[in-house]
């Protein structure tokens, strides 16, 4: 079973990496179910996909609410009759030094980047376990592999999902449930991610880096497509994606 005919739920699908992935997977024959908070964006992206001959549905979803994730998965089953893949991609990155004590932003990152992924996992696990088939893909970050100044809490959430995904992979093998996992570690990808950085120095530094080396989100869409496209007995587990010009 390749990408074609798979039903894929994508969070953070209203812009950037999620939008690019939804469009690519749909163009390769997947049915995509989009979740995020901005309805206008979701509606437009779904319409674009349908206008191009693809299959798409959307639901306004806040990943911090477990019930929203359950409803998004229910929509996939209702509309397309199955759930094969969830791509936990929604995330926020308001980086700042720890000494700035932006504790509201710390909590928001934990809620979206970590609890949001857990809510996605919990929403699909009953179906995946029962059907002995499924794939959980999550966007971590290179900040989930090594430490960066300013990324103390952002990196903590991204390190955490790395561990979560690896344990799901190991437990799936132990329980023989055939649940595949893939974790993506992007470096600088030009999206709307930097817009929410409130720390002036952090924002300036990031803007400079992304302007000089950033690449388009299609790079991530292609690797997610590749992971889904593998035969069921092949689990492409981790991808690190750097712009060629980023050190």
- The residues of the shown chain that bind ligand NDP, judged by CB under 6 A, are 11-18, 36-38, 41, 61-64, 89-93, 112, 139, 141, 186, 188-189, 191-193, 217
Cβ of residue 28: shortest distance to ligand NDP, in angstroms?
Answer: 20
Cβ of residue 156: shortest distance to ligand NDP, in angstroms?
Answer: 13
> Out of 58, 87, 154, 185, which one is annotated catalytic?
154
| CA distance between the termini of the chain | 37
> 135 or 140: whose CB is closer to ligand NDP?
140
Both tokens assigned to 122: 């919990």
3-state secondary structure 97-163: CHHHCCHHHHHHHHHHHHHHHHHHHHHHHHHHHHHCCEEEEEECCHHHCCCCCCCHHHHHHHHHHHH
Both tokens assigned to 156: 């903590």
> 15 or 172: whose CB is closer to ligand NDP?
15
Cβ of residue 154: shortest distance to ligand NDP, in angstroms?
Answer: 7
Both tokens assigned to 189: 């990808």
> 54 or 91: whose CB is closer to ligand NDP?
91
> 17 or 124: whose CB is closer to ligand NDP?
17
Indicate if the alpha-carbon torsion angle 21, 14, 33, 67 is positive or negative.
positive
**Residue 87: active-site member:** no
Which are the catalytic amino acids?
A: 154
């Amino acid at each position: 079973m390749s990408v074609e005919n798979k039903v894929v739920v994508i969070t953070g699908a209203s812009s950037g990496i999620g939008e690019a992935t939804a469009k690519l997977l749909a163009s390769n024959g997947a049915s995509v179910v989009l979740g995020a908070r901005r309805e206008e964006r979701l509606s437009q992206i779904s319409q674009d996909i349908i206008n191009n001959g693809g299959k798409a549905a959307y639901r306004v979803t806040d990943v911090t609410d477990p019930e929203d994730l359950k409803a998004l998965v229910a929509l996939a089953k209702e509309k397309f009759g199955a759930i094969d893949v969830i791509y936990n991609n929604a995330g926020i990155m308001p980086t700042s030094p720890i000494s700035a004590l932006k504790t509201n932003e710390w909590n928001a990152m934990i809620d979206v980047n970590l609890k949001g992924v857990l809510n996605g996992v919990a929403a699909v696990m009953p179906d995946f376990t029962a059907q002995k088939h499924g794939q959980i893909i999550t966007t971590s970050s290179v900040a989930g592999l090594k430490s960066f100044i300013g990324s103390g809490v952002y990196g903590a959430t991204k390190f955490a999902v790395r561990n979560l995904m690896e344990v799901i992979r190991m437990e799936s093998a132990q329980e023989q449930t055939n649940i595949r996992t893939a974790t993506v570690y992007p470096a600088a990808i030009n999206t709307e991610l930097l817009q929410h950085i409130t720390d002036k120095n952090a924002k300036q530094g990031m803007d400079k880096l992304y302007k000089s080396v950033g690449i388009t989100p299609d790079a991530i869409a292609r690797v997610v497509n590749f992971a889904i496209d593998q035969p069921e007995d092949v689990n492409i587990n981790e991808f690190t994606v750097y712009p060629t010009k980023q050190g």
